[in-house]
Amino acid sequence: MADFDHRLLLIAAYAAFNARAIEAALATMHPDVDWPNGWKGGRVVGHEAIRAYWTEQWTELNPHVEPLRCTTDDEGRVTVDVHQVVSDYAGHILSDEQLQHVYEFDNGLIKRMTIRLL
């Protein structure tokens, strides 16, 4: 799949995440996707685990992640520089930071994501 297609897929994934449209976000991911649990640590694998993780997270936190820039390395991994703001539902900002999300793909779908602190 071309780099441009990966970027379109990622734009759709971020838009779905920010809209809390879990099914639309999961549609961009491989069934056995390996995903970081940025809230409590560790990793979750598969659609059901991600659905449970996000559902639980969104009961306490209100994260918004805005992609800023994408680059692709020679191995096909896409790094997305993001601006992430996490607040509680009372409106208090808990974190406001720039991070990198590194994606690997399989058959045109997100297979793995890793978070890099800047």
pLDDT of residue 1: 42
Each residue's pLDDT tens digit, 11-27 = 999 999 999 999 999 99
Residue 88 domain boundaries: 3-117
With a pLDDT cut of 70, the percent of the chain lying above it is 97
Q: Tell me the whole-structure pTM to 2 decimals.
A: 0.93
Domain with residue 38: its CATH number is: 3.10.450.50
For 59, other C-beta atoms within 10 Å of its C-beta total 8
16/50 Cα distance (integer angstroms): 14
pLDDT of residue 118: 87
- Rounded to the nearest integer, the mean pLDDT of the chain is 95
Residue 113 pLDDT > 70: yes
Q: How many domains does the chain have?
A: 1
**Residue 86 and residue 79 in contact, taking contact as beta carbons nearer than 8 Å:** no
